[in-house]
Amino acid sequence: MTAHENIAALLHKDRPGHTLPQALYVSEAAHQFDTQVMLKAVWLFACTVAHIKKPGDYYVFELGKNSVIIVRGRDGDVRAFYNSCQHRGARICETERGSNPRFMCPYHQWTYGLDGKLLAARGMVDGFDKAQHGLKPVACENAGGMIFICLADSPPPIDRVKADISAQIARYDLEHCKVAVMDDLIEDANWKLVMENNRECYHCDLNHPELLKSLFAYGYGKGLPEDDGTDVVEDDDFDAMFAAKQAEWKAMGIYHDLIEFPYGWWHRIARLPLANGAVSQTLDGKPACKKMIGGVDKPDTSSLSLWTQPNNWNHFCWDHVVTFSLTPLSANKTLLRTSWLVAEDAVEGVDYDPDNLAAVWRATNRQDGYLSALNHAGIATDGYRPGPYALEEKLVEDFKDFYVRESLKALAAA
Ligand code: FES
Ligand SMILES: [Fe+2]
């Protein structure tokens, strides 16, 4: 069997309601497939517009052997290009982030504009056409300030995701935010386990004391009331409070129906009440930044959460926004990058304390990293067989189904 046939056979062994076959989580072959095939066929969250505020600011996104430069152009638009010189192929940007008026390859100094056009190349033959040698573009879309890229030659549709995200996060005005803190955490687990862990709060009660100070586990996997009043885990008190909060949000003009991975699409957006009177996802429930976002003068007791398949989740509070991106580094190592955004005019040490701003999710990430590593280590043993999901793990299955479906599609097209 070829490598692709092996992966297809494993994908066909997937059973509804159960975790994946072992080799899809732990094998080198699955890691190669994920980084060379599956993750190249879908849209990936890379960064926000706040990570590249000014023309010339760039952010390098790495996936497997590929490296992509995401850059803010002179016109304010965001574009993406392979980080590979069109002369003899050298990597152009050597640092992960930076700012420059143009890109100059370190090897022989071919120089490119922020729009990827080749501007200068010394000593070429007469008639050399610079227009034929611009940087190779990568599909790049800006959804309300969230930047997604796709490494496929024909990317799948993104229009509905873009419209839904833009409509709901416009109030948070990411163009006028800045990155206050950015943490990289390398977790000892396959990236799919890190994602699965994010998609349920079945594990929250005993593992996340800091997070649960300001959040109900409901809505993070335990299930929100559907239109018919049912939810996954019945709790009349929560349902009544949720209904009252929805009425409040309607009056404030910030209400939207829950969007939950509509079939074939890859986004979930929910406004959720904060717990214990909190107005922000912080240790004491108070804003971590004195300057509010998007012209809001008084925060309400809710936050907006956005989850996208396959590598991202985000929480929007009125004083700060926190975004998460995942990239696989090897079969059992995953980079989790967390960014905390605040209003661009907020001053560190005056309006916010970076450690206080990051405290809840820094602790939560550490706890989740520990749990994901335990999960990976156990799956790698001979004792593993695919296990059944609990009711509260519906969103884990949504992720798994997305993975299997998109993998099969990518294999069919390969
Ligand atoms: S490889 Fe970039 S200028 Fe030669
Ligand atoms: Fe968690």
CA distance 295 to 319: 10
Same domain, 322 and 198: yes
- Based on the fold, state whether residues 184 and 56 are members of the same structural domain: no
Residue 35 inside a domain? The answer is no
Among 155, 173, 188, where does a domain finish?
155
Are residue 135 and residue 257 in the same domain, yes or no? Answer: no
**Domain assignment of residue 246, yes or no:** yes
Tens-place pLDDT, residues 47-74 = 999 999 999 999 999 999 999 999 999 9
Note residues around ion ligand 2 (Cβ under 5 angstroms). Answer: 368
Predicted local confidence at residue 335, as pLDDT: 98
pLDDT of residue 380: 98
For residues 71 and 193, state if they share a domain.
Answer: no
Mutate to test the pocket of ligand 1, among 88, 93, 102, 135 (most ligand atoms within 8 A of CB): 88
CATH number at residue 163: 3.90.380.10
Question: Do 266 and 320 reside in the same domain of the chain?
Answer: yes
User: 304 and 362 share a domain?
Assistant: yes
- Which 3 state secondary structure label does DSSP give 366? helix
Residues 144 and 163 reside in one and the same domain: no
Predicted structure pTM score: 0.97
Q: Is the dihedral of CA 331, 179, 71, 83 positive or negative?
A: negative
Please give the distance, rounded to the nearest whole angstrom, from the Cα atom of residue 335 to the centre of ligand 1: 30
Render 189-203 in DSSP notation, one character per residue: S-HHHHHHHHT--TT
Distance separating alpha carbons of residues 277 and 286, to the nearest angstrom: 9
From ligand 1's centre to the CA of 130, what distance in Å? 14
Ligand 1 pocket, mutate which of 94, 107, 122 (most atoms under 8 A from CB) = 107
Q: Which atom of ligand 1 is nearest to the CA of 88?
A: 1
* Low-confidence stretches of the chain (pLDDT beneath 50): none
Q: Which of 82, 105, 122, 133 to mutate to test the pocket of ligand 1 (most atoms within 8 A of CB)?
A: 105
The tens digit of pLDDT for each residue in 320-358 reads: 999 999 999 999 999 999 999 999 999 999 999 999 999
pLDDT at 342: 98
**How many domains is the chain built from?**
2
Cα(87) to centroid(ligand 1), Å: 5
130 and 269 assigned to the same domain: no
| Residue at 358 is within a domain | yes
pLDDT at res. 228: 67
